[in-house]
Every structure is written in structure tokens, then in C-alpha cells.
Amino acid sequence: MLDKVLSKIEDVLHLAGCLSLVAVAGLINADILLRLFANRPVQIQFELTELYLMPALATLSLSRVFRDGGHLALEFTPERLPGPVGVVISKLRLLLPAAFFVAVTAMSGKFALEAIVHGDVEYGVVDWPLGWAYASIPLGCGVLALRLLHDALLKRDLAVT
């Protein structure tokens, strides 16, 4: 059941990340075309893209792409090793990155929460609340940490016996 709930969360975040990419492409193209033909830029394009959309598209799909095996990786050990040593190595290959992403989640979450509490704002054509801009990073990294922990601790087929 936990896998199904986690998969649904990953799918929703992946969709949000993909929509962020489409929004970036749309905004940049609209900005280019309006500058070229009307000599009028899209005023909010830079801040919206830089503060909200780029972090979202970079982090929200992390867990789903990991689940699907879509990341590039540098392998220095075989993916599956026989026996108890293979199980330990397979678990460490998931637990060490999980520890890293737990730390990233904690630090970026603290940073985002402080920005929300203090009402940090990026001033421009629109006053952009920064806390919500930062929130996609701990969200995406936190779900990836959960996926890594889930796969390390609950999956049964980590090594060939």
C-alpha cells in the first residue's frame, strides 16, 4: 500500500515538473516573439522562470525518474551481487543517497520555512514570495528520499541469492 501511495505522489509531482517545463518553454518563446514583433517583453517571465519553474522542473520529477530507472549513473559495482554481501551492498547503494537527500530536504526545508515565516519577497514587476519558490526543492528531494528508503528497506529483490 505504501508503494501505491508513494507512486501516486510521484506521478502527481512528475506531472507538475513536466508542466513547469512546458510553462518555461511557453514563457520564453512568448517573450522572444513579443520582443521581436511588438518590442514588448513578457514582464514576469524571468522571475517566474528563475524562482518557481526551474526549481520545480529540476526537483519534482526526481523520485518518479528514479523509480522508472531513468537517471544516468556511474556503476562501479554490479547491480546485483549474490549472497548476504550483495544484499548489504544493494541496501547501501540506496541508503547512502537517501541520507544525502534527507539532509538536502532538511536544509532546504528549513530555508524555505524561514523564508515563508519571515515573508521574504523578491521585488520586481510582481512581488514574488520566496518561501513558496523554495518549497519545491524539499518537496522533490523529500519524496526521493522516501522512495530510496522504501526501496532499501521494503523491497525484497535487492540481491540474487
Convert the pLDDT of each residue in 41-86 to its tens digit: 998 999 999 999 999 999 999 999 999 988 766 666 666 777 888 8
**Taking residues 147-151, what's their average pLDDT?**
95
**Taking residues 126-140, what's their average pLDDT?**
95
Convert the pLDDT of each residue in 89-110 to its tens digit: 889 989 999 999 999 999 999 9
Q: What is the largest CA-CA distance in the chain?
A: 67
pLDDT at 33: 97
pLDDT at 79: 66
pLDDT at 74: 65
pLDDT at 76: 66
- 160 versus 128: the higher-pLDDT residue is 128
Q: What is the mean pLDDT of the chain?
A: 91
Reference 103, options 65, 75, 137, 74; nearest CA is 137
Reference 54, options 13, 21, 11, 7; nearest CA is 21
pLDDT at 67: 94
pLDDT at 157: 60
Chain length of the chain? 161
Q: What's this model's pTM, rounded to 2 decimal places?
A: 0.88
pLDDT at 158: 53
Contact (CB, 8 A) for 136 and 21: no
pLDDT beyond 60 at 160 = no
pLDDT classification of 155: cutoffs 50, 70, 90 = confident
Which strand (E) or helix (H) includes residue 129?
Answer: strand 128-129
Per DSSP, 69 falls in state T
